[in-house]
Chain A
């Protein structure tokens, strides 16, 4: 019982923006250094492993493309969790988290789309095809941009947080569609080859750099996300200070 309440207190401690800022200051340098380390190793592996006998050198694009695509979905899942936090527990940091994640997710999605079409041009002969996987990822990209536009349009975070949380949750239906689109429909995009129930179907030669790069991308996401949350908290503090300044100005006369 006491352990449980301690956990709850720890949790609500984290909800305190000041505590969060202190924690972020301590964690960020380490996280950034770790990210850089993994990227160095991952990129070195990506460029030194052998090329595919069919795809040749273009297979190396996959080491960026696949992690970016994973992250684009994970980022939305983080946003959906944060949206739940906003709606159910009214956690003050949940909205900050969701708001900070949207541009990062958009960047990862854009990266996945760009690397995908760079790969698609030599392999499929077209920059873009309208198959289920590609289209649903493009829809995800549009959703990220739409959420960013919504967040910008409403300048009062207290009111906009609920509205955008509802939208995030509604949009979450797209994530399973993206994940299973390659299995439900017969598409040009190949099906999953790493995360499968019967073990990966990919050669260990390619799996090693892919896993390292995936870890590097995940770390990069958390680094950027914590930094963006810190910026968002600071931005809100600046806004409330300015409102305070406006209220107190001209009082003396």
Chain B
């Protein structure tokens, strides 16, 4: 499986955020997107996740399952927000996403107990999600990545609220995913501790673009 991006550019409102970004990622490869604030890292990831329309360019999947309409259907997206309900217990949250998302072809998700153990928080899955600290909530959101199988992981600032120990644990999860032939695209300020990661340095769009209403 190969994920191809060809000449992507995207707008938010009227502003052109980035222009002409291309890359190709094969199975087992990771792309680390870096750059200063406002350079368009989050926007790029939302375009890859199919949540924003690209202004120009194409996103393609080669040798993937045939019935897929957009690569986002094979992707996990971990944004700034955890997509977990505070009122429900951790186990209810995770089992909901496991049932709702299902597994992509070519793999299967792990069960809840294993997933919670993998993020190092055994024994608190029965608690309401709102009781957990910010770091614990983030780790439980990562457990969501492994309860439902998706070959492509799109991670936006995944380790923002985490301490050093949890950082390492997360790097272990990502490396394990790469070892089984997954693809990881992560935007981050911090080094993630990934071995075979390629870098994409975002600079933001620096040219002049007046947009639709401008006469230039």
| A–B direct touch in complex (beta carbons closer than 8 A) | yes
Q: Mark A231-253, 1 if CB is under 8 A from B, else 0.
A: 00000000000110111011001
Q: How far is the CB of A156 from chain B (nearest CB, A)?
A: 10
B131, A246: Cβ atoms under 8 Å? yes
List the one stretch of B6-14, B117-125, B175-183 in contact with chain A: B117-125
Which parts of B150-168 form the interface with A (CB within 8 Å)?
Answer: 165
Set B128, B131, B136: member contacting A250, Cβ < 8 A: B136
Q: In the complex the two chains form, what is the Cα distance from A247 to B123 in whole Å?
A: 12
- Given A245-B124, A246-B124, A246-B127, residue A253 in contact with residue B169 (CB < 8 A): yes
A97 to B39, CA, bound (A): 56
Please give me the residue from chain A that is nearest to B87 by CB atom.
A155
The distance in angstroms between the C-alpha atoms of A185 and B132, with both chains bound, is 56
Contact of A246 among B120, B133, B139, B169 (CB under 8 A): B133
Residues of chain B lying within 8 A (CB to CB) of residue A253: 120, 165, 169
Inter-subunit contact A250/B120 (CB<8 Å): yes
A250 to B136, CA, bound (A): 8
- Name the residue of chain A whose CB is nearest to the CB of B130: A155
A246→B137 CA distance, assembly (Å): 10
Q: Is the CB of A245 within 8 A of B169?
A: no
The distance from the CB of A235 to the nearest CB of chain B, in whole angstroms, is 14
Q: What's the Cα separation between A246 and B122 when bound, in Å? A: 10
Docked complex Cα distance between A245 and B121 (Å) = 11
Contacts of B128 in A (CB 8 A): 242
> How near does chain A come to B130, taking the closest CB pair, in angstroms?
8
Interface residues on A, range: under 10
In contact, B131 and A249 (Cβ under 8 angstroms): no
A contact residues around B120 at 8 Å (CB) = 250, 253
Q: How many of chain B's residues have a CB under 8 angstroms from any CB in A?
A: 15
Separation of A242 and B132 alpha carbons in the complex (Å)? 10
B interface footprint on A211-244 (CB within 8 Å = 1, 0 otherwise):
0000000000000000000000000000000110
Distance between Cα atoms of A245 and B165 in the complex (Å): 20
Contact A243 B131 (CB under 8 A): yes
**Residues from chain A with Cβ under 8 Å of B131 in the complex:** 242-243, 246
Task: Tell me whether B136 and A249 are in contact (CB under 8 A).
Answer: yes
CB distance from A205 to the nearest CB of B (A): 55
Chain A residues whose C-beta falls within 8 Å of the C-beta of B133 in the assembled complex: 246-247
CB distance from B143 to the nearest CB of A (A): 12
Structural contact, B136 and A246, CB atoms closer than 8 A: yes
Task: Assess whether A250 is in contact with B139, with CB atoms less than 8 Å apart.
Answer: yes
CB distance from B144 to the nearest CB of A (A): 17
A253 to B165, CA, bound (A): 7
Separation of A246 and B128 alpha carbons in the complex (Å)? 9
- Beta-carbon contacts under 8 Å, B102-141 to A: 120-124, 127-128, 130-133, 136, 139
Closest to A252 in B: B120
List A residues 61-95 near B (Cβ within 8 Å): none
Q: What is the minimal beta-carbon distance from A204 to any residue of chain B, in angstroms?
A: 56
Q: How far is the CB of A125 from chain B (nearest CB, A)?
A: 47
User: Which B residues touch A155, using CB under 8 A?
Assistant: 130
Give B123 Cβ to nearest chain A Cβ, in Å. 6
Residues of A within 8 A of B132 (CB): 246
Give Cα A245 to B122, complex, Å.
11
| Chain B residues, Cβ within 8 Å of A242 | 127-128, 131
Most B C-beta atoms less than 10 A away, residue of A243, A249, A253: A249
With both beta carbons as reference points, the residue of chain A lying nearest to B131 in the complex is identified as A246
Task: List chain B residues, Cβ under 8 A from A245.
Answer: 123-124, 127
- Distance, CA A24 to CA B127, complexed state (A): 29
Mask, A32-51, CB within 8 Å of B = 1, is: 00000000000000000000
Known: A242-B128, A245-B123, A246-B124; 6 extra A-B contacts, CB below 8 A, are A155-B130, A242-B131, A243-B131, A246-B131, A250-B139, A253-B165
A to B CB contacts below 8 Å, 14 in the list: A155-B130, A242-B127, A245-B123, A245-B124, A245-B127, A246-B131, A246-B132, A246-B136, A247-B133, A249-B122, A249-B123, A249-B124, A249-B136, A250-B121
Q: Which residues of B line the A interface, CB within 8 A?
A: 120-124, 127-128, 130-133, 136, 139, 165, 169
**Top 6 A-B pairs, shortest CB-CB distance:** A249-B124, A246-B131, A250-B121, A253-B165, A246-B127, A246-B132
